[in-house]
Amino acid sequence: MKRKTRLILVGFLLAAFLGGRWLWQYAKTPGEAVTTPRIYRLGQLAFKPCTLHQPETGLVTTAWCAPFQVPENWAKPDGHKIALRLAMIRSPAAEPSPDLVLYLAGGPGQSAVDTWPDLAPALAGVLRHRNVILLDQRGTGGSSPLICPRTQSQQSGGEVARDVSASGRHMPFAGLEAKTRACLIALRKHDLNPADFTTTQAVLDLVALRQALGDPKFDLVGVSYGTRMAQQFVMHDPRAVRSMILDSVVPNQLILGQSFGVNLDHALHADFALCTKNPTCHRAFGNPWATLVQLKQDLARHAPRVHFRSAYNFKPVDETLTPARLVALVRLDAYSPLTAALLPLALHAASQGHDAPLLAESRWISHSTARTMDGAMQLSVVCSEDVPWLHATPAEAASLLGDRVIEELHAMCTIWPKGAVPANFHTPLQSNVPTLILEGQFDPVTPPRYGSEVLKGLRNARLLIAPGQAHNVIGAGCMPRLVARFIRHPDPDLIDAGCLTQLKPAPPFLNYNGSAP
């Protein structure tokens, strides 16, 4: 076989093995080198092949990227510019649909590019016919990220906002305020004004992006905080949106942080009921809620120093299990039915003096959360859009989480710069845009009642609740098929959601091998 023929055959075999979907395409004209990538033009933007690296892993995604700049402050369009990271996952279709799927990541503070590998399986059916646009929201990922300097005393990934949410280490207010000021000074050395990194400014980035792309219709896919972005964009320009998916929705009228404790308590009671109603689990672990409350009280009297090995590098670590850290871990575990299913077992073990599993998981989940979240950008959003209206309530104070988070947010936001918020920002969305709202039955942060609240203002929408699931349910069970069907034909009445009844809660683990002996 001739060498040229062999090379062609190898190329076809590779295409078959990879499905042909992710291979870069090249154009060759007379005198042009074969390594020159073909440019894919959309409107004013010229996309070229690029590789997206998932942080701290060896995983990569081949994509198409284009430079994109916007004013840091849209009220000063001729002022300082910031570069936003823009990528496109191309459909394998010969002629993709002209409308574009725009993924809006959660947080606030998550990168659309960095979290795409987690979302990709859920949108595989959508990608068959449509290109997917990934734009890191300003302040996240590769878009002028707002990253606070770390100190030796912080956990891996412990930015300012993490001290409130994920690290589980309450510090004196003076120390928290000092760290907030240090972060602010560091950001200003890079000529960044955190007051300009709000949802409202980011919506104007999307308006400019659509114009640069040639004014296509968008199919918005928002997850968690990304649903706030989606609703604010629809309020700004409803004619720009062909369809909308709101996964784990944040109602416009919601003040972030106002009901964290109450929502968590409700979700944990529902999760733990799966154990108390299971004779084997109940016999082994008793009442997990009572165990959790007692463990928190015991840790307040004596927080043990625990020796364990890190899940990242297996090196020995000595850390303290505090009440705040316990609650932070329980809250993050409740986001997923699989990690929630571990809680009765892990809490029982800790109550018997075996704290290492809880601490090892706390370290791992805190690191994983921080890897895809920019905490200072989170402050820019909540200090401008939520904290001015955030107040402690008796119900929050009585919750497992308590109202310490509210107090800490107020302390940091007294220092943090605040951007302008439109008068109608917290007005409930009223829209005709075809919309699917997705909720998890046991969601600890955006419970199904939030979906019902948003549904009231939508005249062409449907609410789907995933049984036994928690936060971010677009990939659960048959949901990807329903989403693909809806985006292809955006009529909520055409959706047959009967397949969702096949979803079940994850049974509680009876040991670290699973739910069965």
pLDDT in tens, 127-145: 999 999 999 999 999 999 9
State the pLDDT confidence band at 486, using cuts at 50, 70 and 90. Answer: very high
Whether the pLDDT of residue 164 is over 90: the answer is no
Dihedral, 379, 384, 385, 390 alpha carbons, nearest 10:
80
Q: 70 or 329: whose pLDDT is higher? A: 70
**Run of H or E including 184:** helix 173-189
Give tens-digit pLDDT for 389-424: 999 899 999 999 999 889 999 999 999 999 999 999
pLDDT in the model for residue 32: 39
User: Which among 448, 46, 429 has a CA at the least distance from the CA of 267?
Assistant: 448
Quote the mean pLDDT of the chain. Answer: 86
Question: 386 CB contacts (<8 Å, ≥6 apart)?
Answer: 255, 256, 257, 258
With contact defined as beta carbons under 8 Å apart, do 429 and 458 qualify? yes
Q: Which amino acid is at 87?
A: A
In this prediction, residues 208-235 reach a mean pLDDT of 98
Lookup: tokens for 134: 């990934």
Burial of 480 (0-12, 13-18, 19+ CB in 10 A): middle
User: Which among 319, 304, 310 has a CA at the least distance from the CA of 360?
Assistant: 310
Burial of 410 (0-12, 13-18, 19+ CB in 10 A): middle
In this prediction, residues 42-48 reach a mean pLDDT of 96
b/e code 194-229 from CB counts within 10 Å (16+ = b): bbbbbbbbbbbbbebbbebbeebebbbbbbbbbbbb
Backbone angles phi, psi at 81, to 5 degrees: -105, 150
User: Which among 419, 430, 477, 487 has a CA at the least distance from the CA of 454?
Assistant: 430
Place of tokens 């096949």: 502
pTM of the model: 0.87
Distance CA 459, CA 137 (A): 29
In this prediction, residues 292-309 reach a mean pLDDT of 89
